[in-house]
């Protein structure tokens, strides 16, 4: 009874807080109004694209809160020149089937190229970017690691870095919200286009936050135009936006929430139907399957038994979208189904099977094959999940209150009040250190550098000061004294990236970080 009263009071307070946000703000200030990144670009950050040739990665989901296409808005903008469009899987109109090859073509009314990023190439080529000053990304994601739109974002960032093009991500909501983070974290051997980075199944990040996370490995000249009035606790229904079908099998919000809950059984015979609203397979007793799932303590959902031909299964009835955990539900469903029909678990050998690509690990298949209890499986991947949650904190943009986040701009490095030019953009790594190209920072500090390829060792000299760093090692030598750093130099592409602070301090410079303006300020003299 006391618990019910407390829950009732909490609901009342939440309702009151929501009502207060609708009232006029005090002292003439305007209350927060939700705005997408594409709306913020036009209203507040237009200077980012003014006078430039613009390329846009988008599809039919790239619309503003009024349903108006970003393509049309940019095409009509007299201050910019829209020179190219790029479409992800399913094409720029979202009509192609999953996995279907998509051709490039010329836009019938704009007369500009529409390059397919799901045809001959999945990365923009140098030729595709030759007539572009800045690349924009405006595509709605659904919050699942295996949904390939975020892989296209990653590949576009890699291309932007390679061909020295700035990339701007116009942020959009994670429809599942920013608090549901679940599933095994992708292991490096299983990274593919259906799992492009070390993310769990449900990452709980917006595309802008994902771009910042991806950039720890890429080092692109990345700017994120944030949403206004967005909070981590908001699911799509809280934004007031209308859902725009993102792909042929995701026509509505129930398909979004059902995607991971029903669609992870690739190659097992346990499959989804009715656009991710049903899960089952042959040899499954529908009533027994429903009973066991309903008894598993999964929040926010009821499982209703339903046979489809010779297959038994359940239809999902989501009762609380905030509480519902799609990835955990999908893992429980597979584990329980295996106990019923003992399906053959696909295994990777010389070729990684799709099941393992989606799971991000071969261990999930092993645990299911061992008939481990669903909660035991969740406990087994939990340590890796907790490490990811800690790592992702530094890449998050939004909190729990409807603030208007600042523009997330590229990091710059200043030595004695002069900006250091780099041919690869600085980025913040997973240890919260700003990483910069080795030779450029050393020369800006008035020092010299020697590279020992046989030992992957970097020696930096300035006057009598000598320091030595090793790629992949946290141990360094500062003026003859061995020190332990909390990060290490890495090689990305053809560039050696080093922690700016440690290199600068090793030759006697002082270093400060201006987080508000994303600046590293170094005094070398």
Give yes or no for a contact between 20 and 48, defined as CB atoms under 8 angstroms apart: no
Q: What percentage of the chain reaches a pLDDT higher than 90?
A: 85
Q: How would you classify residue 183: left for phi > 0, otherwise alpha for psi between -120 and 50, otherwise beta?
A: left
Q: What percentage of the chain reaches a pLDDT higher than 70?
A: 94
Average pLDDT over residues 322-330: 98
Q: What is the pLDDT of residues 464-503, one digit of tens each?
A: 889 999 999 999 999 889 999 999 999 987 789 999 999 9
User: With bands split at pLDDT 50, 70 and 90, how would you rate the model's confidence at 424?
Assistant: confident
Tell me if the pTM is above 0.75.
Answer: yes
The contacts of residue 344 (CB under 8 Å, 6+ apart) are 268, 269
Q: What is the pLDDT of residues 383-398, one digit of tens each?
A: 999 999 999 999 999 9
Q: What is the pLDDT of residue 385?
A: 98
Average pLDDT over residues 276-299: 98
Q: What is the pLDDT of residues 331-368, one digit of tens each?
A: 999 999 999 999 999 999 999 999 999 999 999 999 99
Q: What is the pLDDT of residues 92-110, one digit of tens each?
A: 999 999 999 999 999 999 9
Average pLDDT over residues 115-130: 98
More confident residue, 404 or 440: 440
Q: Please classify residue 379 by burial: count the beta carbons closer than 10 Å to its beta carbon, then call 0-12 exposed, 13-18 middle and 19+ buried.
A: exposed
The contacts of residue 154 (CB under 8 Å, 6+ apart) are 196, 197, 214, 218
């Amino acid at each position: 009874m006391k618990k019910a009263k407390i829950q009732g009071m909490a609901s009342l307070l939440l309702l009151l807080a929501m009502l207060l946000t609708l009232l006029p703000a005090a002292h003439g200030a305007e209350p927060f109004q939700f705005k997408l990144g594409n709306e913020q670009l036009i209203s507040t950050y237009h200077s980012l694209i003014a006078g430039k040739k613009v390329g846009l990665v988008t599809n039919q989901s790239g619309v503003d809160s009024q349903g108006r296409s970003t393509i049309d808005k940019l095409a009509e903008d007299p201050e910019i020149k829209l020179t190219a469009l790029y479409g992800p899987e399913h094409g720029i109109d979202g009509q192609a089937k999953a996995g279907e090859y998509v051709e490039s073509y010329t836009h019938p009314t704009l007369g500009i190229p529409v390059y397919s990023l799901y045809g001959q190439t999945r990365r923009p080529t140098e030729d595709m970017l030759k007539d572009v000053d800045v690349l924009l990304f405006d595509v709605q994601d659904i919050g699942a690691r295996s949904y390939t739109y975020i892989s296209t974002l990653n590949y576009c960032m890699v291309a932007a870095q390679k061909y020295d093009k700035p990339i701007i991500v116009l942020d959009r909501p994670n429809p599942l919200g920013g608090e549901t983070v679940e599933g095994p974290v992708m292991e490096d051997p299983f990274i593919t286009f259906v799992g492009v980075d070390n993310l769990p199944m449900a990452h709980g990040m917006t595309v802008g936050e994902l771009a910042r996370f991806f950039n720890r490995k890429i080092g692109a000249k990345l700017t994120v135009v944030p949403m206004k009035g967005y909070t981590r606790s908001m699911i799509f229904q809280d934004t007031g936006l209308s859902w725009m079908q993102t792909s042929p099998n995701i026509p509505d919000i129930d398909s979004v929430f059902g995607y991971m809950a029903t669609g992870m059984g690739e190659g097992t015979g346990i499959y989804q139907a009715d656009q991710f609203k049903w899960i089952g397979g042959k040899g499954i007793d529908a009533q027994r399957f429903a009973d066991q799932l309903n008894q598993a303590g999964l929040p926010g959902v009821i499982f209703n038994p339903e046979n489809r031909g010779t297959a038994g299964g359940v239809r999902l009835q989501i009762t609380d979208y905030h509480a519902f955990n799609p990835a955990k539900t999908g893992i429980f469903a597979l584990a329980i189904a295996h106990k019923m029909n003992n399906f053959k678990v696909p295994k990777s050998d010389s070729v990684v099977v799709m099941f393992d690509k989606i799971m991000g690990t071969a261990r999930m298949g092993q645990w299911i094959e061992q008939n481990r209890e669903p909660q035991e499986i969740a406990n087994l991947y939990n340590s890796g999940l907790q490490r990811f949650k800690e790592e992702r904190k530094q890449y998050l943009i939004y909190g729990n209150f409807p603030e208007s986040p600042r523009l997330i701009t590229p990091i710059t490095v200043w030595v004695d009040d002069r900006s250091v030019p780099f041919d690869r953009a600085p980025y913040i790594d997973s240890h919260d250190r700003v990483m910069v190209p080795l030779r450029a920072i050393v020369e800006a500090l008035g020092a010299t550098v020697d590279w020992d390829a046989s030992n992957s060792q970097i020696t930096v000299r300035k006057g009598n000061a000598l320091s030595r760093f090793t790629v992949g090692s946290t141990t360094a030598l500062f003026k003859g004294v061995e020190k332990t750093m909390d990060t290490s130099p890495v090689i990305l592409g053809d560039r050696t990236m080093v922690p700016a602070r440690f290199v600068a301090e090793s030759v006697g410079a002082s270093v400060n970080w201006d987080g508000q303006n994303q600046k590293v300020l170094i005094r070398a003299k």
